[in-house]
A and B are shown apart, each in its own frame.
Chain A
Amino acid sequence: MEKTVNQKAWFLVLPVLILVAFSAVIPLMTVVNYSVQDTFGNNQFFWAGLEWFQDMLSSDRMWEALWRQLMFSGIILAIEIPLGIFVALNMPKGGFWSSFCLVLMSLPLLIPWNVVGTIWQIFGRVDIGLLGHTLDRLGISYNYTQDTLAAWFTIIVMDVWHWTSLVALLAFAGLKSIPDAYYQAAKIDQASRWKVFRYIELPKMMGVLMIAILLRFMDSFMIYTEPFVVTGGGPGNATTLLSIDLVKMALGQFDLGPAAAFSLMYFLVILLISWVFYTVMVNLDKKGM
């Protein structure tokens, strides 16, 4: 749609601007201020220069948390995207069963994140949880509070449980936009199921899939509540992802300086990914027109 140039539109945006400036710009400025100073409490600050940034950049703690974070995001993307597409391809196309599946699949998406944590905390316990108990009966030693592998397994299955439906719903929305004529043409050409997927469905889904990948990456990159409730970052530091580590540092130990430096670097990475996300969205919009 052609948009009219109208500088007065600024007045319509002003309330949002003021509100978000209050809740985003002022806190971010504060973080910048903290990141270059040291404090011993009582609001007394001392100039520390780039010390904290240097500290954080050379600390194993941050790099390990970042590494765990990237591994977590990578694994869940590698599972959720293909699984989501697979589920979307198998969803009923219309009628009662379509609504039925949509409603049930949306359910995990709408559960409060801490309750998602609670559900899996209970579900995975060997003494009272169905999953933990079953695995235990099968003779598999499984204890997510003690064993690193089990902890990782739990938080990954939890995230797959929580978010695969979103990928599926997005992919499904992409599939629904394919006109029937395409399939009929493929049938006439006697194209195989794989070819239909590869040359008709996948290209048509590419747009929404990009959105799904970026959304899942962003949201998993800042995940806090669910793994925190299930493992608390443990055993040891095995599941301490970036946000969990940052909260430990900022609110647990109240290390304002290092936490602020950490926050800023975290935020810069997010800014970069957001920019990629935005650029992709704008290009998709253009293609759509």
Chain B
Amino acid sequence: MTDATIPENLTAGGANARPRFRVNSRAVVMTLYLLFLLLPLYWLLNMSLKTNTEILNDFTLFPKDLTFANYATILTDPAWYMGYVNSLIYVVMNTVISLTVALPAAYAFSRYSFMGDKHLFFWLLTNRMAPPAVFALPFFQLYSSVGLFDTHIAVALAHCLFNVPLAVWILEGFMRGVPKEIDETAYIDGYGFGRFFVKIFMPLIASGIGVAAFFCFMFSWVELLLSRTLTTVDAKPIAAIMTRTQGASGVDWGVLAAAGVLTIVPGALVIYFVRNYIAKGFALGRV
């Protein structure tokens, strides 16, 4: 594995370099792939730092006159920043609800077998897999009829459709890694279920809870269809605002790009801490 072959055209530069910097095919592949991933992102960042005149009239690879006006617009105009506030409110609500109900359920699935457990577990999975498009219409009718339309809690509850199953599956994946002897010892030592769960068990799967919270947060944060369908004004999320920026004078590209950059920030902030769990989270705790 270590003796990867050096392609013909690269040997010239690589031969004299120190071994540490030897150009090998693996590095080339990774560089090209990462370049492919980062170019569109760079372009978004680039556009967010330009004025609209520059975006539309000059085609420049770097912002000619660097401006933060686009970000200023978003952070001072309530029509924009309230979108972030609304999104954050329902996302946090959803994460809290999902984890609260998923923790005991995941414990039950990982420790006990009971009537219909496998079918229940499968049924949860189907909800994670169900297309939001199927649920958009009935959700609209349901939340309108109970008077919750255009509230944060409506979106938070609607997102439970896929986030609760997700949290249960991820947490179950982490919990099955904790030996059962720990539970038994604790019960013998006289711990009740509640005290054992909070004092001993939850710290043991802290990383699992973190990962589950992160994925709940993320899937609720990125969802557009349901949050857009269930809100009009008061709880309108940033995603919905971004898709409706077409004004009479065309699209305000600079502000749109800046808004895009700002929505990436929450994910980018924690990315380093969850880097080893990304695959596990997406694969519902099964890797």
> Do A's and B's CB atoms come within 8 Å in the complex?
yes
Q: Which A residues lie at the B interface, using CB under 8 A?
A: 1, 3-10, 12-13, 15-17, 19-20, 22-24, 26-28, 30-31, 34, 86-87, 90-93, 99, 101-115, 118-120, 122-123, 127-131, 133, 161, 165-166, 169-170, 172-174, 183, 208, 211-212, 215, 218, 221-222, 224-225, 229, 242-244, 246-247, 250-251, 256, 259-260, 263, 266-267, 270-271, 273-275, 277-278, 281-282, 284-285
Interface residue B89 (Cβ < 8 Å from any Cβ of A): no
Interface secondary structure of A, over-half rule: helix
Beta-carbon contact of B30 and A87 below 8 Å: yes
Beta-carbon contact of B113 and A5 below 8 Å: yes
Chain A to chain B contacts (Cβ below 8 Å), 9 pairs: A3-B111, A90-B30, A102-B275, A105-B37, A107-B41, A133-B59, A166-B279, A211-B286, A282-B118
Interface residue B263 (Cβ < 8 Å from any Cβ of A): yes
The 8 closest A-B pairs by CB, nearest first: A110-B267, A222-B131, A27-B138, A12-B108, A9-B112, A243-B133, A9-B108, A169-B279
Beta-carbon contact of A114 and B242 below 8 Å: yes
Given contacts A103-B272, A111-B267, A114-B224, contact A224 B133 (CB under 8 A): yes
Interface residue B79 (Cβ < 8 Å from any Cβ of A): no
Q: Give the distance to chain B from A206, nearest Cβ to Cβ, in Å.
A: 13
Beta-carbon contact of A27 and B135 below 8 Å: yes
Instruction: Give every chain A residue within 8 A of B38 (Cβ-Cβ).
Output: 104, 107
Beta-carbon contact of B157 and A114 below 8 Å: no
Please indicate which of the listed interface residues A103, A122, A229, A271 has the most CB atoms of chain B within 10 Å of its own CB: A122
Please indicate which of the listed interface residues A23, A172, A250, A251 has the most CB atoms of chain B within 10 Å of its own CB: A23
Beta-carbon contact of B134 and A266 below 8 Å: yes
Beta-carbon contact of A274 and B129 below 8 Å: yes
Instruction: Give every chain B residue within 8 A of A281 (Cβ-Cβ).
Output: 286
Q: Which B residues lie at the A interface, using CB under 8 A?
A: 1, 25-26, 29-30, 33-34, 36-41, 43-44, 47, 55-56, 59, 97, 100-102, 104-105, 107-109, 111-115, 117-118, 120, 122-127, 129-142, 157-158, 160-161, 164-165, 168, 176, 180, 218, 221-225, 229, 239, 242-243, 253, 256-257, 260, 263-264, 267-268, 271-272, 274-276, 278-280, 282-283, 286-287
- Alpha-carbon distance A20/B279, docked complex (angstroms): 25
Beta-carbon contact of A127 and B56 below 8 Å: yes
Beta-carbon contact of A86 and B161 below 8 Å: no
Beta-carbon contact of B286 and A284 below 8 Å: yes
Beta-carbon contact of B114 and A10 below 8 Å: yes
Instruction: Give every chain B residue within 8 A of A129 (Cβ-Cβ).
Output: 43
Given contacts A15-B104, A87-B33, A274-B129, contact A20 B138 (CB under 8 A): no
Instruction: Give every chain A residue within 8 A of B274 (Cβ-Cβ).
Output: 106
- Alpha-carbon distance A101/B56, docked complex (angstroms): 34
Other than the given A16-B102, A122-B253, A170-B287, 10 more pairs (CB < 8 A) read A13-B109, A90-B26, A101-B30, A106-B274, A112-B224, A118-B260, A166-B278, A211-B287, A215-B283, A259-B137
Please indicate which of the listed interface residues A104, A129, A174, A183 has the most CB atoms of chain B within 10 Å of its own CB: A104
Q: Give the distance to chain B from A203, nearest Cβ to Cβ, in Å.
A: 16
- Alpha-carbon distance A231/B44, docked complex (angstroms): 18
Q: Give the distance to chain A from B198, nearest Cβ to Cβ, in Å.
A: 14
Beta-carbon contact of A107 and B271 below 8 Å: yes
Partner of B37 from A27, A107, A251 at Cβ < 8 Å:
A107
Beta-carbon contact of A6 and B114 below 8 Å: yes
Beta-carbon contact of A107 and B268 below 8 Å: yes
Q: Give the distance to chain B from A256, nearest Cβ to Cβ, in Å.
A: 7
Residue of B nearest to A2 (CB): B180
Beta-carbon contact of B34 and A105 below 8 Å: yes
Q: Give the distance to chain A from B195, nearest Cβ to Cβ, in Å.
A: 15
Q: Give the distance to chain B from A34, nearest Cβ to Cβ, in Å.
A: 8
Q: Give the distance to chain A from B196, nearest Cβ to Cβ, in Å.
A: 13
